[in-house]
A and B are shown apart, each in its own frame.
Chain A
Amino acid sequence: MGLSRGKLCCLALVVGLVALAGAAVLAVFLTRSRCAPPRYPRAAVAADTQTCSDIGRDILQQGGSAVDATIAALICSAVLNPQSMGLGGGIIFTIYNASTGKVEVLNARERAPQKISGNLLAECNKGFPVGSRWIAVPGELRGYEEAHKRYGKLPWKTLFEPTIKLLDPGIRIPEVVGRFLSHPMIQPHLNKTSLRKLFYNKQGAALGAGDLLRWPALVETLRAVAENGADEFYQGTTAEKLVQDIAKEGSILSLDDLRDYRVEVVSPVNISLGEYTVYSAPRPAAGPILLFILNVLKGFNFTKDSMSTLSQSAETYHYIAEALKFANGQRVKVDHPAFSQTGEGVLSQLISDSFASHVRQRIDERGDHPASHYDSAQVGTTPFG
């Protein structure tokens, strides 16, 4: 007695669907187990502390975009690594939008103020460049605002909340910050500045790792910016207080400087690198220099074998070192295009295959060429960061 043809078909369909569902569950299980920490199956954040990476992750899990997570992690970093960055600085974003396949760069680097001193550059070689005359107009919060306007999913305020919650009761000075506060090259300068108010205790000693840091003024500013947006910093009460404070130290930064600050939204520079396209930030960032170096190096056709023995490693690092030396000679080209005499054609040539090939031909087995060999005679030796 056999099953009817119709019933057989139904049975086969059910078996097939069950098998497919089983395979899908197995695939998800295998992916999850293969992607165990430090690998992850869905999304990832790399900031410079565990706390700030976790804050970025939490924002993603709340439905935030990559930009939301980045901004939240950066606000956190401003508090846990205040020696590195903060609302008084500037930022450059390179953003890949998966839904459009486009990459764009938001440049919120600081700008020279309107009343910039004509002879400031004469001060460059006169010691450590700290103090009010070196302050440029901060772009950080306008950068966050522009990025959030374009790509944000969660409310602006939400991005500030984790850091406000973290900072409100005070934080323990992280070990890295403690290292900077006690560094023999930094402490003598810190000791003479207004940062004493923040990082020194009532007995006059610098705070160290693990000490409690209370920072109520920043908590209030973060709350105000979270509520009122970036305008609070650029044309609100915070702007007035900031200009008042730093004017007491001789700063020429004005309310007009803050009000007039604008972010630049530009296309990235890019090159092909084997199977990849590399996108980076154009000048005044150093993306063109990075791409120039990678373009030179790709012609050496490096593989795993290039690092497999001591002699091959040495040969490989020699080529890398030579490419870096040639790059020193090109750094002068990465100035702000709106104020530059260097045309875009020069920048296109810098990251071209033909220029990379030309430079590669000048790299030989010697590591003792004079500076003129690298066309770097015109470059000052002062580093920029």
Chain B
Amino acid sequence: TSHVSVLAEDGSAVSATSTINYPFGAMVYSPQTGIILNNELADFCMKQSSGRISPGEMPPSSMTPSILISRDGQSKLVVGGSGGQLIIPAVVLTIANKLWFGYDVDEAVKAPILCTNGTNGIEVEKAFDKGVVAALHQKGHTVKTMPWSLNVVQAVSKDGPCLFPYSDLRKNGQASGY
């Protein structure tokens, strides 16, 4: 999955998330066209309880391309991410870091995340504060460290006259502007 955030000179914004699902999708390659095919039907697997896929149906997704606009229209945050089920906690934490905890957008994206797993345990990135992990243990949480960080967020913020784009270093990202 890959995310692009754009804020243009006229104030218009786009938050777009695109995917072929798993790394290299279905791993099926069309040699005549050069196209790599998705394996998006795997996302229906969470429907196992209802057990039926209808032709034309779209599978559920963790994608959350989002745009935040202040009441006076002067401040904006264009944000979204990739990383499967890590998208939601990564975007939540980016927004919380930026709006509530006073981080600049780069620090908001960089900050190590926590997420929950299928059994309601917590998983944290390797760089997550060890003191906080110990305190969460004390509260009764089961906390594990993620083997790798697949969460990647791209964001553009505007506060005052400046636009601040940031592409996640977890994927060697680099933003641009003028």
Contacts and interface: CB of A to CB of B under 8 A. Distances in A.
Contacts of A339: 54, 56-57
Interface string B64-97: 1111111111011110101111011101110110
Contacts of B68: 273, 276-279
A385 B22 contact: yes
A90 interface: yes
Contacts of A294: 92, 95-96
Contacts of B60: 283-284, 286, 331, 334-336, 384
A88 interface: yes
A279 B55 contact: no
Interface residues of B, number: 130
Interface in A341-385: 365-369, 371, 374, 376, 378-385
Contacts of A245: 29-33
Given A130-B27, A276-B68, A290-B64, A45 B131 contact: no
A89 B162 contact: no
Interface string B132-154: 10011001111000000000101
A87 interface: yes
Interface residues of A, number: 168
Contact of A244 (B16, B32, B65, B177): B32
A280 B64 contact: yes
Contacts of A35: 161-163
Nearest to B154: A46
Given A86-B20, A130-B22, 9 more contacts: A48-B3, A48-B82, A70-B14, A73-B6, A90-B19, A136-B40, A193-B29, A369-B120, A385-B83
B43 A371 contact: no
A286 B63 contact: yes
Given A38-B165, A110-B40, A384-B62, A97 B12 contact: yes
Contact of B66 (A112, A175, A290, A314): A290
B54 A216 contact: no
A284 B35 contact: no
A205 interface: no
